[in-house]
């Protein structure tokens, strides 16, 4: 399998689950994907497929895995923060109300025309954060390159009251969904 992602978290989860793969990050311009009038599920599936297809064209005989994760709050799709100010705004929004984390997953092997696309959604019930906690989070930099400006595996106990759904989805790759999808390709 080829992982079309530079995400260290996705690599770690695949290694921990015992999958054999190599990494070929898909360098696509995500700004060209409109978030207006589209669900978080459709948005992430489109991006996951675009990433997988970009790499699958270079390796048509290989099974390519693409994934994309966003947070969704009150109908707004929230990706990665561009800077500390944006990270603070995202953190204040997400940790003031229940929100969802959605990951789109695509498996593509062009040689035999296999294309599977699905998504997983986890509902997050956050703890209310103090101004000091928010500032410490922003200053600590753990928001960098994270959808929704946080990483549950790094500070979930501090930020999360409870979750409904897959914790690996919140980490960026829903392993349960991936296993079901792979079973469809390799029954």
Cite the active site residues.
68
Phi, psi angles (nearest 5°) of residue 70: -140, 165
Count CB atoms within 10 A of the CB of residue 6: 13
CA distance 6 to 51: 11
Count CB atoms within 10 A of the CB of residue 28: 17
CA distance 178 to 94: 26
> Sign of the C-alpha dihedral, residues 164, 121, 181, 144?
negative
The answer to whether 124 and 170 are in contact (CB under 8 A) is yes
Q: Count of H helices and E strands in the chain? A: 7, 7
* Those residues with Cβ within 8 angstroms of residue 162's Cβ, 6 or more apart along the chain or in another chain: 125
């Amino acid at each position: 399998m080829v992982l079309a992602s530079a995400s260290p978290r996705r690599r770690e989860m695949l290694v921990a689950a015992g999958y054999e793969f190599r990494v070929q990050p898909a360098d696509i311009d995500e700004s060209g994907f409109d978030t207006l009038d589209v669900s978080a599920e459709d948005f992430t599936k489109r991006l996951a497929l675009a990433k997988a297809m970009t790499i699958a064209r270079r390796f048509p005989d290989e099974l390519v895995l693409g994934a994309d994760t966003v947070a969704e709050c009150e109908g707004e799709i929230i990706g990665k923060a561009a800077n500390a100010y944006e990270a603070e705004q995202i953190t204040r929004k997400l940790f003031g109300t229940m929100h969802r984390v959605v990951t789109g997953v695509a498996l593509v092997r062009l040689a035999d025309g296999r294309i599977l696309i699905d998504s997983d959604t986890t509902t997050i019930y956050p703890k209310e954060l103090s101004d000091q906690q928010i500032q410490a989070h922003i200053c600590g930099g753990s928001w960098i390159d994270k959808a929704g400006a946080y990483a549950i595996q790094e500070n979930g106990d501090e930020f999360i009251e409870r979750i409904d759904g897959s914790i690996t989805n919140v980490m960026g790759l829903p392993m349960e969904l991936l296993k079901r999808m792979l079973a469809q390709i390799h029954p």
